[in-house]
Structure 1
Amino acid sequence: MAYLIPMDISPHPTKRIAPPPLELRKHAVFVDFDGTLVDIAPRPDAIVVPSGLARRLNQLRARMDDAFAVVSGRSLHELETFLTGFNGLMIGSHGAEARGIEPPLAHAIPGLPFVQSELAAFAASRGLLYEHKPHGGAIHYRHAPESAETVSVFVHHLLERSPGFEVQPAKMAYELRPAGVSKDKALARLWQEAQFADRIPAYLGDDSTDEPALLWAQENGGFGIKIGEGESAACHRLAQPADVHAWLAAAVEG
């Protein structure tokens, strides 16, 4: 079995410093979706995608010579649905799926149907939300925060019967995903692509699932930008998705 090892996300001494201006020919940008490009919603399917977002991301991607990628815990199918028309690189399921690079980043684990059915049944029995993912599944308890401990206990007990998986805590949710899959590993794979050569990585994310990627960017000569409140190892911070859009737009319009 594999347990998610807690990482040090102690507040960075400069974590509230605004990020430097985005330089289109110098930086490479990796950006989370929920809580970063779009505001968090009560349900994953209730988000509101800003009008014209895909078009603006395509414009940014073109100006950056494709040194841009969306990196999310969402499934790749969901990302493609919400960002219809965006033609750039996408990482889904925390790094288990990818569009635009080969080979695929992860393969299904034999115990996957069991894990998914157990998560779905538990969520249904307690009126919680189950989110199906191609390589795992998640239970959301945003509308029932008192269920946090119950969900945590169940998911960790399920992990004991599910070799090859890890627990991934998120905002008001717990997920089981393939062991060894993470956003920082996804960035390391993307970094092998030619368009990222000699660039400075910048990662933007809002959740604990983004911390490995924020650290990866900083450990590889770049910087992380934490979106919203909460402790983070990121050296910079923006308050909300609207600020992310403004930061990106300033580079394109400047």
Structure 2
Amino acid sequence: MSQSISVENLRAWYGDHLTLKGITMELEANRATAIIGPSGCGKSTFIRCLNRLHETIPHGRVSGSIKLGDEDLYRMDPVDVRRVVGMVFQKANPFPTMSIFENVALGLRIGGVRSKAEIIERVEKSLRMAALWDEVKDRLREPATALSGGQQQRLCIARALAIEPEVLLMDEPTSALDPGSTLRVEELVQALKSSYTIVIVTHNMQQAARVADKTAFFLNGELIEYADTAIIFTKPSDKRTEDYVTGRFG
């Protein structure tokens, strides 16, 4: 069952450079939240803080609080955090030396699942949830790199889902995809949000409008406005938000 994420006064640095300047917001359970804003505004840094990837960068550090339900993510083991907060990156990154099946199964094996029957069942379930099963069910032993770019991205989504996280983070997951593959991923987001808390970074205003229940506008490391998506795109309360979503800058 998914839970909300509460972010309070989150600051993030690269060395001496302050990238996020005190972000406070609630990411609702069973909703898709879009993070929008111009390049360099802190969008990707923000979601990398949500599963503690930011601190893996040399001289990357954070302050503030991030809670999943009642659990403080920064008091948990980072490996445990990444089991409950999954991540899909901008560029599909299947493990090139592994088969389609093993790409999805690897996280289960690392997590201690030993039952062959359970692994087979969960791999199939994850591929079905990623709307990929029918396309690959007869190709599971082929290398993942034999798939198209859009299929590889859905494979990475299946890989993230296999370990049964509560939150799914997506960092511009369709920016390298063709329109047809983009549509499949967007349909997938719509289907998954009933079971997961989803946070998606996107440069595509139309995509945010299509898939997100709520949208947050970031600018220069600050959260300028956070509201229902329809409000952000039709009646924003801040002039800077209006200027961005109407294409006046960014």
Q: Does the pair score TM above 0.5?
A: no
Q: Structure 1 or 2: larger strand share?
A: 2
